[in-house]
Structures are given as structure tokens and as C-alpha cells.
Amino acid sequence: MIYVFYLLTVSAVVWFSILASRYIDMIDRSTKLSGAFLGGVLLSAITSLPELFTSISATTLIDDASLCIGNILGSNLFNFGMLAVVILFFIKGFSAANLSRSHRMVMLLLILMYVAVWLNWQQVVDTEIVLGGKSPWFYMSITSLVIAVLYLLSVRYLAGDNGAASADEEPAGDEVALSLKSIVVRFVAASVGIIVASIILTYITDDIAERLNLGSGLAGAIFLGVATSLPEVTSTISLFRMRNFDIAFGNIAGSNVFNYFVLAIADLLYVRGTVYFFEDSKVINLTLFGLEASAVMFVLLCSRKIWVKVVMALAAIGCYFAFLLV
């Protein structure tokens, strides 16, 4: 029965995310906001709401730091794996698309985030700021501060980019029947639905992990990471079908850097210690394979040759399956 509730909750997350994405599209057609900003900041933040609230719930309500970092890193790796699959199906159009230059900078910043976590694991940079003596009320890793700065830099680059339309993309001709105020109200309602479903999903995943005797890092990577990535995957597939490759890629890249920002927030709220919990070997593997997937996706983004994009996409998919097999 628990698996039925899991599927129903996942379906609710996806459904509300589709609604939120639809209203963001209406905002796109009702305002003059750039595509890079809409995809890399607004849409990515919306579709990453499940990661935000499940991670916060994992640290503040369940008191499970491993589940939190497993959720974030697992979601990021799954995002790139699914993006690579979609790119392969639309390889010709994607290769001809003129993507925003800010995406490259965002990918570089994402790689630096992975490096920061890797250095924490290696105990090269694992200093923590603790305030409150024996009963600390503030506990945060230097790694989280670095991640927060890198995320703010990514937002700055995306906000200052006017975007770039795909060569194959046609402007949407449908007029928005709703007023901007009505669209915003419906968007907020859909976001609340995502929040509620995400919190419920955290408890269900923790229950599944206990029943199957799985490590919380593995449970977060598989059940929680995949489930909370479904909004990004759903919206990205829709955008690819509309041949809006610029916002589609920005959605995934922006979601992954936002997920890391979520990790920093969770670390700030977790007063019992740090969320950078590496006793679970799966968390270590997620860090390493996630770093590799980010690097190959950066090469895919920069290369203009189709065969290079195909090879890099296959390599990104291979990183996810390698994690599952190791």
C-alpha cells in the first residue's frame, strides 16, 4: 500500500509542476522577461520546489542528513541523465539551436559546486562556523557559503542575459486569455500543491527506506531524487517538443545549481551538525559521478559538432547507470 501512496504522491508533484510550468509560460507571453531568466531562474526554482522542501524536511523533521544530500545529488545526476536522453532524440534541432551564452557560465559554476563538495569530502575544506557554545544555534559549513556565493553569481549571469532564440523556434502566437494577476494567483496555488505533496513524499520515502533496509543516501538518490526530478523532466520534454531548446537547457542547468543552493539552506537549518554526510558510499559515488556528468554536459554545450554532442550525451547517461551499478 505504501508504494501506491508513493506513486500517487509522485503523480501529484508532477501534476502541480505541470500546472506551474503552464502558468510560467503564460507569464512569458504576458511580460518581457528574458528566456534565460525564465528558464534558468524562475522555472528552475519552481520545478526544484520538491527538492527544497523534501531536503528541509529531511533535516528539520526527520533529522536525516544523508537523505538530504542523497536527494540533492541524486536529483542532479538524474536530471543530466534524462536531459541527455532527450537531447539524443532532438539532436539535430538542439545542435542547430542558438543557446544563451550564460548557460556555459552556469555550468562552470555548477562544476565548482561539485568541486567544493568533493573538497569537503576530502577534508581539505571542511571548516564549520558554530555559534552558541555547547548548545549551538548556528551551525554552517564553509562549503555552504561557497555554494551560496556561486549560486548568486549564476543568478546574476542569467538575469543579465537577454537569451537567444532557437533557429527553429517560432514565437508563440496564442494570446493569453487570463489577466496577469489571475495567472500569478493560479501559479501560487500550484506551488502550494507542490510544497504539500513534497513534504508527504519525504515521509513516504523514509518509510520505504526502512522497509527495504536501504541506506538513506541510496533511498534519497533513487526514490526521492528521481521523484523530485520529475517536474524538471516533464517541463524539459515539453519545451523540447516546442523546440524551445534554450529555456529547456536553462531549466535543467538552473535546477541543478538551485538544488545545490537548497543543500546550503538545509545545512544552515540543520543545527545538529553538517549535511555533508559521507559515511554512505553512495553519497560519495553521487558526488564523483555528478562531477563527471557536469563536465561532459559542459563539453556537450560548448561543442558545435553533432558527433561530439552524441558521445557526451551517452557519457552523461553512462554516469547515471554507472552509479546504479557501482
User: Who wins on pLDDT, 145 or 14?
Assistant: 145
Which residues are CB-contacts of 31 (< 8 A; sequence separation ≥ 6)? 180
User: Who wins on pLDDT, 206 or 290?
Assistant: 290
Please answer whether residues 165 and 246 qualify as being in contact, where contact means their C-beta atoms are separated by less than 8 angstroms. Answer: yes
The type of residue at 116 is: A
**pLDDT beyond 90 at 302:** yes
DSSP state of 39: I
For the chain, domain boundaries: 2-164+179-325
Residues 196-225 have a mean pLDDT of: 69
- Strand positions, DSSP E, the chain: 128-131, 138-141
Q: What percent of the chain lies above the pLDDT cut of 90?
A: 29
- pLDDT at position 298, please? 96
Please state which CATH class domain 2-164+179-325 belongs to. mainly alpha
pLDDT tens digits for range 274-294? 788 777 778 889 899 999 999
d(CA 220, CA 285): 13
3-state SS class at 140 = strand
Q: Give the number of other CB atoms < 10 A from CB of residue 251.
A: 32
Summary count for the chain: helices (H), strands (E):
14, 2
Q: For 315, how many CA atoms within 13 A lie in the half-sphere containing its CB?
A: 18
**pLDDT beyond 70 at 311:** yes
d(CA 248, CA 155): 16
Q: How many residues does the chain have?
A: 326
3-state SS class at 95 = helix
- pLDDT at position 206, please? 67
The type of residue at 187 is: F
Which residues are CB-contacts of 26 (< 8 A; sequence separation ≥ 6)? 176, 178, 183
Please answer whether residues 25 and 186 qualify as being in contact, where contact means their C-beta atoms are separated by less than 8 angstroms. Answer: no
**pLDDT beyond 90 at 90:** yes
The three cell numbers locating residue 33 = 522577461
Element (H, E) at 70: helix 65-89
pLDDT range class, residue 100, cuts 50, 70, 90: confident
Residues 146-151 have a mean pLDDT of: 95
Facing residues of 130 across strands?
139
